[in-house]
Amino acid sequence: PGGRYIVVDSATQRLTMYENGQPVDSMKVVVGTRELPTPLIASIIHYVTFNPYWNVPHHLVRKTVAPNVVKQGLGYLKSRGYEVMADWSEEAAVLPPDSVDWKSVVAGKTQIRVRQKPSPTNSMGKMKFRFPSGEDIYLHDTPTREYFAKSQRTLSNGCVRLEDAKRLARWLMGREPVAPSDEPEIRVQIPQGVPVYLTYLTAQPSTAGVTYLSDVYGWDRPSDQLVASK
């Protein structure tokens, strides 16, 4: 109940910042689709990452990136700032894209890591907020602003896109969030770790009692129905 923490509710597609048990700010978010739902996570944010890379999810590499490379050539990668990486480590080397069998990637026989360099069109926007979870899920900025005008914002690949990443960073850091340089993937420690809870609350308190929201993910069905559907 005490201290500062963040709650991200996929049912309402909102993020709320709390101080000493009281909400002090809130914003819209975009969360995962029904097919790629944002998972339930409890963790702690320790730093803000400026000028982030975007590591393209494997399913998008296979369904989008690789087919476009096959059709349009290696220029497709360069035009979008994509790089092929040797592995998933932080020190991974950049590989020449012509060393990859892109048809094998399309067929699902080869799996590679593709990342997008920081830019105005980078899917992570100008900053991201990572936290330990083992799920590769985090909060981040986004250049795709039109989604926030929608009433139903279950539109991402699982990560949480923020309506105002700069405002969240300002609250976490206690000062104006400014990137130290133009270098990619700069981590700036925040004064104190802030707990973050990704949840899914389809029952909400209201002045009229309890309000039930749409169960977009289908997680509120009785357990016997959930088992039967698998």
Residues forming a β-bridge with 212: 203
Rounded CA-CA distance 55/39 in Å is 18
Predicted local confidence at residue 2, as pLDDT: 76
140 is known as an active-site residue: yes
Q: What percent of the chain has pLDDT over 90?
A: 84
Q: Is the pLDDT of residue 226 over 70?
A: no
Rounded CA-CA distance 49/54 in Å is 12
Count of residues making up the chain: 230
Rounded CA-CA distance 106/135 in Å is 24
pLDDT digits 0-9 by tens, 174-201: 999 999 999 999 999 999 999 999 999 9
Predicted local confidence at residue 1, as pLDDT: 64
Encode 43-57: b = buried (16+ Cβ within 10 Å), e = exposed. bebbbbbbbbbbbbb
59 is known as an active-site residue: no
Q: Which two tokens stand for residue 45?
A: 């944010």
Q: Which of 46, 58, 59, 159 does the annotation list as catalytic?
A: 159
Residues 6+ apart with CB under 8 A from 97: 69, 74, 77, 84
pLDDT digits 0-9 by tens, 42-87: 999 999 999 999 999 898 999 999 999 999 999 999 999 999 999 9
Place of tokens 């969240």: 168
Q: What is the mean pLDDT of the chain?
A: 93
Predicted local confidence at residue 142, as pLDDT: 96
Q: What percent of the chain has pLDDT over 70?
A: 96
Encode 9-34: b = buried (16+ Cβ within 10 Å), e = exposed. bbbbbbbbbbeeeeeeeeebbbbbee
User: 69 with 102: CB under 8 angstroms?
Assistant: yes
Q: Which of 46, 58, 59, 140 does the annotation list as catalytic?
A: 140
pTM summary value: 0.88
Q: What is the DSSP code (8-state) at residue 125?
A: T
